[in-house]
Structure 1
């Protein structure tokens, strides 16, 4: 038997059904089952289907599907989610990522497979799914930075907060395009027959989604330029704020809107500028990885403005010494071996004079080449907004620097699995015979350009977070890097990493 509130909701929903345009009316008929795929997706994400309620049960579902297994393990092993660990089993990946993230991956991947049968609508719906994924990671990371007790709830709520956009775009794309231009509830009512909030609330009740989500959709956002005081204000502020921020980031035609929303989030959360920016950078990175994992490869969201310290450094190649023509570089005894104390003292002085990351990293590259005995030295950095992407930035000791730098650029998971393994470590490693590495470890283009037989590879980390890697060798093929060269490298590397972390305020 229906309770009185249920009867009232049913009557209200019937009233709304009579007001909305004909293409949307079937959505309010429980018997019509108009959008079973979307409705099932919402219920899976919210764990209403019952088969994803525990890590073991969810791991079993993922393990039965090779495609899902690959997606989950790839996300779990990316720098964005596990900067130090290598995860090899699905149960470990599910535990590591969290139920909310894995449930979302499972449900969204299945939805994307369904959309493959709708090529005319897939681009629009893919953009909306990407926006929802980005909103969920932004709410989660901001909540984590605030020590919110259950950030997973923020993730799921932010993901479904704008579910009505996807529903309308799926059912009536023309109406959705009109709705995008609406500025007020009155504008929305002219298109939908009722305001968008009223429409979404009624649809959530029709689909029997949790009361908490219904209340969230209908709740007014916290007052701007005030600090959130209650848990409810924090919850609503983060979920609605994350969605508003991502929507603004996805619409570059309105400059300044994203910055205003960002300021509102900072005022409401009371996060320091640095903590806020770090959370937003992590959120953008994770949103990019989740979107790519479900097959959305186009750039849907442009990263919001960031403080200069969080951007990828723009480093110019330092001036280096040129070896004497009558003495090959590979046979030169480097200063670190002939005058170690003086060489390290000079290097330390150069580090102290460096005022930013750019000059520190340039100093390190130059010292390894001039004083460390390495013929070729290269620096590659991670894109902070997409840490699966490596960017070649500086190289010395080669005739074709552009070609050599481009050989570093690419996806860690697809193009450079060896570099991904290096970035998860803390210490430099000596690759004694690069040709003996696993066939897929070195990209064929990289191997052909560098023609290396041995090299030193080292992760550059700020705290526990890798930001890039160094590559050093003594020339192509026969010029071997020895364990003694690795020891020399570590003398420079250790001092440089300490200086980098001091500059970052970690030490």
Structure 2
């Protein structure tokens, strides 16, 4: 029986739930040519419409676009990226766990996103943020296909990272992220168009016994690639990632340029993942991988002697990646296959090697959200102080030290409803306090309206804190007493009652700025006296950092 997807049938409206993948088979009819339908622009457009019409598509694309458009050369971008990450407890926790994995252990313990960005670079943290955000979105859908796809993508990414490290002269983090999204189009199809995806899998299975099953597979892979590239362009993915969605041309594998090498590594890694998932015989698997590396030639032949190192999963780093990306690897098709192969592995003398115990314990289908319970404030404050001490010892510049201090204040007070922490610095050319950096809100947007006039005859809270050099706490901005000392430009921008904390930054008996903290008034009761003491200590650390820098 010839089975194919027919475009006229696919145009019908469906009243059943789109997530019901099993019903996808109903769109398959007896047709003579499956290839023409799969290759048709109409079928590709149908799946694109499914993707673009997804309920979470606008939010997901907007988030990814914001993250990818930030540039490391822009000082404001560091704060913007930090704010995007810090608003999601789960994402913050996952990135910090990954940063503290074996890969980055040379930096010692890192407990703030700000310090992680300084040490690892903005691009690395950017890649972690948007890839984990996308995986978290896709993870939420209960699907019999997505766990296998995500597991295979993550395994390919880890393989690509290892190959890049073995070859040298290549950015292994770039290899990881580009290989991770090589299957982007297929993952999107499974998530947003489960009926069509199920239908394509059925076509592939039905045609697998035909004379030329490879044509069907190539056509389907080409479809997924084009879907992935089109959406990636819309979402503003880096060009390198989009290029690496294309399968590398073996004939061009010996080109010297780094992008070609990167593309080859991504193709090889994903092919290794496919072979590992589908080939049960370990010797045949090794033969196929070696033959593929031979075809690519050049430096890739040299990697052949390290096949076991590249494909093994005993490295604790991969465990950390699985945890960070929410992947229950051992329950996936590729995970089961690799674990089964591990049971029968022998060394060069024929002795059986005991399988490595793998601890991939995160359940992909448990519905866990990234919006986790906020961390213990005391732990956040204590670890943040440790990061600040390290930053001062490592001679970070003042801006970066201030950023770590502001982040620690923000994260520590999050359970108490804090919405922003702002560092205001006195302008040396005009009588005003200007926004230097902010956590919780866009620095650039704050600068549009958060302008503090400075004058000795002014009686608002900012001038009181500055000239009297006193800390000020207002528990509710809506109280009568508070309204008397709040400037009109501030009250106009308060949508609801807030608590306010103002801490003047005094150096050599001169007030040079203010740390401004704002949060929801009804949540202030959750802030303990010990938390306010930590804030005072952090404020003192800021003053100490200025004194230290000014004396050197």
If the length of structure 1 is used for normalisation, what is the TM-score?
Answer: 0.47
Greater helix fraction, Structure 1 or Structure 2: 2
